[in-house]
Structure 1
Amino acid sequence: MGSADRPVLLRWLSRGIRAGLIVGVLLAAFGMYWFLVFLRVEPEPLELDERPLSVQAIRLEAVEAPRIWSGYGSVRPLRSANVSSQVAARVVHRPEGIEAGVPVRAGDVLLELDTSDFERRVEILSAREASLGASLDAIGVRRVRLSEQVEASQDELAVAERDLQRVREAADRGAATESDIDLVLTRARSAQRVTAALQQELEALEPERRRLESELASVVADRRLAEQDLSRTTIVSPIDGVLQEVSADAGELLSPGTSVARVVDLTRVEVPLRVPVSALDAGLGAVRPGDAVTLRADGPTASTWTGHVLRIAPEASSATRSATVFVEVRQTLREGAEGGVVAAGDAPLLRPGQFVTAEVVTGSSSLRLIVPRTAVNGDRVMLARLGAPDPNGDGEEPVLRATPHAVRVLHAMERAMPGLHPTATQWAVLDPLFEGNPAPGDVVIVSNLDEILPGQRVEPDVVNGRASPGAAPTAARPDTTPAPAPGGGGS
């Protein structure tokens, strides 16, 4: 063998050694495997302990589920009056009991002002009115007399003209002289002048009469204004209500426009309520005039009042993304034991300026499925449904097991439903358009949800019915009227 073939031989020798080692390792591994298989001990089968977990559950039912919207606002009166002085005068009397917080009726006297100047002015204008009336009467009498004198003078003028005509005819026949003509002509012209003067005096009476009538109308108007000012010296309440304040007292000099009192009607108050804009565009769940509203005081007290939506503002606020609905609340008042007024019912007075929160219950509602909010985990609930039989049982009957089921929540609401659950008040309303929702009659697990695993055997205690969970559902189907996506602000 030459030196050139030696490296080739060494390479093949090295490859053979490595292949032998690999085969040896594989044979050793197979030997160890079969040795362990030969030595293994068969385990004894253990019985599976699958005792059911007791849980609380409800059977789904379709119920009326109105949309409830939250809002807030401050109370203001529907009717109020700022009473001001309408004349310049001094206060001479303030009736006893006219104080802030006292109820008053429309027409009740609040203040009395000095009337002396106004009475004198009424007397002066009344006298002037009487004088002008007398002057007009005198003109009427004078007109009648002048009319009679003008008529008599016209008769004399006619006679004189006839005499002049006869004398001229006589002169033509030579039976009268020029002196006779001049004498008769003078008499006729004198009668003509008297008639013209009387006619002019009669015609002058008409402008004088119109002047006096105009002056009389002005005086009558001034007298009526003076009488009105005289009546304004007694300041009265314009409406029924409660005095908020009385800011004038005896001896004070008032000028026109000076505010002296404020009267507030507490029997009807209004709350401009801020609600989400979506509350007006929620389809069947939208707020409408006439919807019931529950108001609550902002504080530790549990006072509530009921009202209704009176009207809705057309514009929304872009800054707060809210709309305004106006809620009217009617209150019955009675006199308090220590004076003032109090509400006739158990609730205290809802006072203007008070801040309140509110819940608007929409009047349009439909039958829909609801579940407690605590039963919804993400987008699913746990149902108790018949599943695989117990492997340790004697028979092959299926047993109840926890089964996850997808849901889609339309909106939430707060309401006591003792017919469904004795204590739950927070509910999730399921969207009727979601076809994957559970069906009426399905049993929804509402307790021990943090312990339950999918497929785990459960023993539900159905609080709103004791029928078998596997029985056919008998509850009414929910309404499937299309509804919009839930908007912010619903509760």
Structure 2
Amino acid sequence: MSKFSGILKLVLKSLISLCLVGGGVAAIILLGKAKTESDQPPPEDIRLVEIQTVQPHDSGITFEVGGVVVPYREINLAAEVAGRVIEKSDKLRIGRTVSAKEPIVLIDRRDYDLELERLQEELEQAEDNIAEMDVQIAAAEGQIELASENLVIQTRSTDRIRSLVTRNATTESSLDDALRAELSAKTTLQTQRDQLALLKATKTRLENVRDRTKSEISAAQLQLSRTTITSPIDGMVVEDNVEQDSYLQKGTAICTIRDTSKLEIKCSLQAHQMKWLWESSTGSTETKKRGAYELPETPVTVSYRIGNEVYVWDGKLTRYDGGQIDQQTRMIPCRVQVEEPLQVKRITDNGEVDTLVEVPTLMVGMYVQVDVHVNPRSPLVAVPIPAVYPGNRLWVVKDGKLQRREVAVAVSSGDEALVYAGEGKIQPGEQVVVSPLSAPFDGAKVEVIQ
């Protein structure tokens, strides 16, 4: 029995060995067949893609920047004369609006009225003194005329007597008397002339007094006018420092009024956006007149959203805000000016536009969106947003194959991106892939889905 069991084990081991050998041979045969089949070319990998044609873009670039509304100007009013406040306008309160040339504070004017009255009396006295002096000058001129005639008569008389003395028709003493009379006439004439010069000098002094009094009257009238303090502009009161019956010294701060006729917006532009501005204005006649630190006036649109409505104002980019680059953001601060803050349009979600008459205007501190439109010289094309792959890469279909293009995106908004065109980049009329691609590579064959 044990002998039979041993034979059986030997047979089983032999069968197992044969099975292993047969399995190895079969594996070698199968591997050989697989290698032979891999030497044959695989079927072509053709990708199905959707494409769109690249369109030229000639209408410029509109880019968006954020900004905050700031005052166009704020005026600090101060008292220019001292006195007690006898009246204060009800509009002179923080948050209320005042109109240009509207009285807002009245200072007691009685002292200034009295001073003006005193000076006017002095002016009248000076005018009277000058008139009196004119009479004296006229009288002196008459005396000079008479003295001149007397001197002429005395001179002729002296000449006659001298002639008689020559002919021994009279004595020497008669000639001496005539000479003394002539000398007396000359002395009288000179005295009258000196008196006239003195009177004219006195008149000049009186005229100077009169002119000085007139200047003092003008100053007094100016001081008197300053007792009524008016608003220099249309604006809103943002600071109020006085109350009725308080006493003001010269220079005392009264209020601060913010100009509401115009507003400005502080915003910052990146360097490439500034380059677009410069390119847009290159070649214009205004460029030659503009200085190195002046911006071309560029139209902009200012918008502010409230709920499902957008309010829009027209403005213009006017100047740099400081003429330097911000050290933290590396952007260039600029100012936008809104000339008519009350002229606003409303745009609803369905695209309707209407002009509003009564609407809250732009307010200082609002965060708004500024749309700037420029026309750079660099050629641009419009491509769909899905066509731009990560890394600013486009896939162009040409002759049924993919071509990779590295591009620079100028700006993107909505459903399209504006891309710089040029040789070796992208050209109008080329077809770009807008459908998803898995592991694309140059030269991959594609089939366009119609």
Name the TM-score, length of structure 2 as normaliser. 0.70
Checking the alignment, whether the CA contact within 8 Å between 1:72 and 1:356 is kept in structure 2 is yes
Aligned pair partner of 2:318 in 310, 324, 346: 310
User: What is the aligned-residue RMSD (CA, Å)?
Assistant: 4.6
Checking the alignment, whether the CA contact within 8 Å between 1:408 and 1:430 is kept in structure 2 is no
Q: State the SS of the aligned residue for 2:189.
A: helix
Aligned pair partner of 1:268 in 262, 267, 281: 262
Q: State the SS of the aligned residue for 1:406.
A: strand
Aligned pair partner of 1:406 in 401, 404, 409: 404
Q: Which residue of 1 aligns with 2:17?
A: none
Q: Which amino acid aligns with 2:434?
A: I
Q: Tell me how far 1:108 sits from its aligned partner.
A: 0.9
Q: Which amino acid aligns with 1:440?
A: G
Q: Spell out the pairing of 1:213-362 with structure 2 (5 A cutoff).
A: 213-282=207-276, 289-295=296-302, 305-312=313-320, 315-317=323-325, 319-320=327-328, 321-333=330-342, 344=356, 348-356=360-368, 358-362=370-374
What is the alpha-carbon distance in structure 2 between the residues aligned to residue 284 and residue 146 of structure 1? 79
What is the alpha-carbon distance in structure 1 between the residues aligned to residue 156 and residue 298 of structure 2? 99
Q: Which amino acid aligns with 2:258?
A: V
Q: Which amino acid aligns with 1:200?
A: D
- Deviations 1:438-483 (Å, cap 9, x if unpaired)? 873636334x6579999799885xxxxxxx3xxxxxxxxxxxxxxx
What is the alpha-carbon distance in structure 1 between the residues aligned to residue 210 and residue 125 of structure 2? 9
| 1:206 equivalent in alignment to 2:200 | yes
Checking the alignment, whether the CA contact within 8 Å between 1:100 and 1:243 is kept in structure 2 is yes
Give the 3 Å change call, closer, same or farther, for CA 286–191 of structure 1 in structure 2: closer
| 1:430 equivalent in alignment to 2:419 | yes
Q: Tell me how far 1:253 sits from its aligned partner.
A: 2.1
Checking the alignment, whether the CA contact within 8 Å between 1:293 and 1:309 is kept in structure 2 is yes
- Deviations 1:55-86 (Å, cap 9, x if unpaired)? 87655444457445454444333344322222
Q: Tell me how far 1:222 sits from its aligned partner.
A: 0.9
What is the alpha-carbon distance in structure 2 between the residues aligned to residue 283 and residue 221 of structure 1? 54
- Deviations 1:23-52 (Å, cap 9, x if unpaired)? xxxxx999964796499999xxxxxxx9x9
Q: Which amino acid aligns with 2:364?
A: P
Q: State the SS of the aligned residue for 2:324.
A: strand
More helix, by proportion: 2
- Percent identity over paired residues: 21
What is the alpha-carbon distance in structure 1 between the residues aligned to residue 392 and residue 258 of structure 2? 52
Q: Tell me how far 1:261 sits from its aligned partner.
A: 2.4
Q: Spell out the pairing of 1:11-26 with structure 2 (5 A cutoff).
A: none
| 1:154 equivalent in alignment to 2:148 | yes
Contiguous gaps of at least 5 residues in structure 2: 1-19, 35-43, 282-294, 344-354
Give the 3 Å change call, closer, same or farther, for CA 184–244 of structure 1 in structure 2: same
What is the alpha-carbon distance in structure 2 between the residues aligned to residue 293 and residue 275 of structure 1? 13
Give the 3 Å change call, closer, same or farther, for CA 177–67 of structure 1 in structure 2: closer
Contiguous gaps of at least 5 residues in structure 1: 1-27, 43-49, 335-342, 388-402, 417-423, 461-467, 469-491
Give the 3 Å change call, closer, same or farther, for CA 164–228 of structure 1 in structure 2: same
Checking the alignment, whether the CA contact within 8 Å between 2:396 and 2:430 is kept in structure 1 is no
Q: Which amino acid aligns with 2:420?
A: D
Q: Which residue of 2 aligns with 1:483?
A: none
Q: Tell me how far 1:224 sits from its aligned partner.
A: 0.8
Q: Tell me how far 1:145 sits from its aligned partner.
A: 0.7
